[in-house]
Structure 1
Amino acid sequence: MRLVILTQDDPFYLAQNIDYLLKKLPPYAEVVATVVFDVSPFGKRETFSQKMKKTYDIFGLPFFVRYGFKFVLSKLDSRNNVRKTLADRNIPLIQIEGNINKDENLEKLRAYKPDLLVSIAGNQIFKRKLLDVATHGCINLHTALLPKYRGLMPSFWVLKNGETHTGVSVFFVDEGIDSGPILVQKKLEIGNRSQAELIDVTKKMGMDAILESIEKIHSGNYELIENDAAQMTYFTFPTKADVQAFLKAGKKFY
């Protein structure tokens, strides 16, 4: 099975988890290429200075200093570099120009004859022509129990809203946002975890869920779980008021 991974150059969580995924891939699955999008934590394209200012304005000085320090350290530690993790395994990087859905970018993907696209924090909207590039379409990891908590930063929202459980969902991508049918779903008790701890746990769970999904697709033996739009909730990026309510509720970022 020929896989193409669609991901982003996240400096905090992705590199080591993708490395774990690659180590655990079954013998019949091969990552033949990757697309690495520029990191976009706010769900839209912004300059680095805009991202810094927004982080400071919304999350405050202690959060800004902590993650600013982690960002610098990540640049010095190759284990946190997504591109290097892929390069160390000699996995080709597909260079795209602009939106991935452009015809010239789709042709680059088709050249690798993928059986399955695997989106891990892919941060562009995928259109039908892209989804049809691979024989089995595209799966995506979402670190929440869909159909609840579609959208951005579910680890923040489940804590703010006082949920007792969260989890991960791997689903077939359609042209909506986190709306496709679910292939694998795993539940997790939140306990007293901070947001950072929750992200760590769910990312690792997510890699195992992706591996399970690949096995199901390869065998053809699976039943899809409905991603019921009538039950959905959707969240965007938090505001400063949301962060204040998060902290007032006794929740922790780290």
Structure 2
Amino acid sequence: MKILVVTSEVTFVPENYNLFLEGLFSELSSENELSLELVILKNNSPALTAKGLALALMGARHIGFHLMKNTLKAAFKDRKELTDKFKIKTHYFENPNTPEFREFIRTHETDLLINARTRFIYKNKTLKLPKIAAINIHHGLLPDYRGTMCDLWALKEDRPTGFTIHVMDKKIDNGAIIRTVQTSVLGNPLRSNFATLIKESSRIEGIEMAKTILTIKKNYNLPIQADNISLNPVYTKNPKFLDIRKLLQKGIEL
């Protein structure tokens, strides 16, 4: 089974989401019938460094610092040591909707495409190309919590944090649910520091995605857990200055 793992050159997660990749690759390294390759979407720019600085000045100093650090590390190809270790081929593209990337999916004969912390919106033409499916790791608990930074809003509202592995379709956060995983509940000490929480969550994501892949490999189809239907969906966006201040007042380090 041929798998493409697609991530961004720069993410907001400490260690640039490499703990997810390391966990995923190590869990699957002994699976000879699997072929994993990594696609990195080129999003590194001075704008991300400026965004990191702005976050730090607003009080989200840990998130801002890690974003600035990740932009610097990405400029020096920070994932090369990791991909060399696991002998993973790496490919760079501008975005997932270019003719070049679509042609690569076809010629690669991709069975499964995994979107791992990119903020790119995939067009339906791209999503229909993998033989089995394109799946996503959504950093919120579907079907109710959709949008961006769901885990941060969960802290603000004293809800469990977690992620959902789901099928991608042309509507964002909409496809059928394969697996949901809680990463913290009220009282968990990890919740006192958002950067630490998402760093540790990324380790769990790598392991859970590996389990999902092995289940798909066994039957060559998707282990759908539930329809992605909510009577009261909540849509969240990136926090603004006042949201950050309220989180800091709750004693949550950002």
118-127 vs 59-68, which moves further: 59-68
- Hey, what does 1:28 align to over in structure 2? 33
Cα distance in 1 for residues equivalent to 2:110 and 2:17: 22
- Give the counterpart of 2:122 among 126, 129, 134: 126
Q: CA deviation at 1:241?
A: 1.1
Structure 2: runs of 5+ lacking an equivalent? none
CA contact (8 A) 2:22 2:206 kept: no
- Asked if 1:111 corresponds to 2:78, the answer is no
Q: Which amino acid aligns with 1:15?
A: N
Q: Percent identity?
A: 21
- Hey, what does 2:88 align to over in structure 1? 91
- Hey, what does 1:43 align to over in structure 2? none
Cα distance in 2 for residues equivalent to 1:73 and 1:138: 26
- Deviation string 1:158-217 (CA, Å, 9 cap, x unpaired) is 111221x22221111111111111111122333232212220222122112211211221
Q: 1:231 to 1:210 in 2, by over 3 A?
A: farther
Counting only pairs closer than 5 Å after superposition, residues 169-188 of structure 1 correspond to structure 2 as 169-188=164-183
CA contact (8 A) 1:13 1:200 kept: no
- Deviation string 1:191-248 (CA, Å, 9 cap, x unpaired) is 2322122202221221122112112212237343121143321111111111011112
CA contact (8 A) 1:7 1:35 kept: yes
Q: Which amino acid aligns with 2:102?
A: L
Partner SS for 1:184:
strand
Q: 1:185 to 1:80 in 2, by over 3 A?
A: farther
- Asked if 1:230 corresponds to 2:231, the answer is yes
Q: Which amino acid aligns with 1:207?
A: G
Q: Which amino acid aligns with 1:211?
A: A
- Hey, what does 2:253 align to over in structure 1? 252
- Deviation string 1:49-81 (CA, Å, 9 cap, x unpaired) is x33444444442664488437844885699992
Q: 1:71 to 1:195 in 2, by over 3 A?
A: same
- The normalised TM-score by structure 2 is 0.82
Q: 1:77 to 1:24 in 2, by over 3 A?
A: same
CA contact (8 A) 2:136 2:168 kept: yes
Partner SS for 1:94:
strand
Q: How many residues are treated as equivalent by the alignment?
A: 243
Cα distance in 2 for residues equivalent to 1:56 and 1:157: 21
- Hey, what does 2:5 align to over in structure 1? 5
Q: CA deviation at 1:106?
A: 0.5
Counting only pairs closer than 5 Å after superposition, residues 188-227 of structure 1 correspond to structure 2 as 188-190=183-185, 191-192=188-189, 193=191, 194-220=193-219, 222-227=223-228
RMSD, aligned CA = 2.9
CA contact (8 A) 2:10 2:70 kept: no
- The normalised TM-score by structure 1 is 0.82
Structure 1: runs of 5+ lacking an equivalent? 41-46
CA contact (8 A) 1:166 1:188 kept: yes
